[in-house]
Structure 1
Amino acid sequence: NPRVTLHFTPTSCSWLNMVEIFFGIITRQCLERGTFSSVKDLEQTMQRYIENYNQDAKPFTWTKSAEYLLGKMKRKQTINTEH
């Protein structure tokens, strides 16, 4: 479709990485060895964990500079991917 332009983002540049990091934290620290008798029990456990986590939350920070990420994007660009 000529109206669609694809923009490829290297995996290390995506905000979804931060979401995945948080899911990894909640999985390891809250769910990994848990036993839940119902979905409601699971939801309550996760809600308690998140409330507790947010008491001392620290923002996730990027460890790569903008220049590094932009350079990575340029290196991974593909040439004309028309089908």
Structure 2
Amino acid sequence: MVHTPIHASWTNQIEIFFSIVQRKVVQPNDFMDLTEVRDRLRPFEDRYNATAQPFQWKFTTSDLDDLLARLDRHTLTDRHQESSVSLAA
């Protein structure tokens, strides 16, 4: 199994953009045909491209190090508890 990164992944950028589109453009979802969808999306796309700013990520490499250390401690605790339970059984 391969675990893909959950932070700093390019898919996060896509998910954020589609979330914005969903909230600001396609709600309510009451389109009669695809032409109406296009007519609502095009002006939003033009405005978004003209005003978009990079997202300011707050998750740093030191945050990642802290998270990994907490996960390691948690994993070690779980393994210790599992071995204690199996010895008691």
2:35 to 14, 37, 40: 40
Normalization by structure 2: what TM-score? Answer: 0.60
Normalization by structure 1: what TM-score? Answer: 0.64
Letter in 1 for 2:49: N
C-alpha root-mean-square deviation of aligned residues, in Å?
2.6
Identical aligned pairs, as a percentage? 28
Structure with greater Cα Rg: 2
1:55 to 43, 47, 50: 50
Which structure's residues are more often helix, by fraction?
A: 2
After superposition, give the CA deviation of every residue in 1:10-54 in whole Å (9 maximum; x if it has no partner): 323322111101111110011112432211221221121111122
Which ranges of structure 2 fall in alignment gaps of 5 or more residues?
Answer: 72-89
Which ranges of structure 1 fall in alignment gaps of 5 or more residues?
Answer: 1-5, 77-83
Question: Does 1 or 2 have the higher relative contact order (CA < 8 Å, sep 6+)?
Answer: 1
* Runs of at least 4 residues off by over 4 Å: 70-76
- For 1:13 and 1:37, locate their aligned partners in 2 and report how far apart those are by CA, in whole Å: 37
- Name 1:3's counterpart in structure 2: none
Letter in 2 for 1:35: D
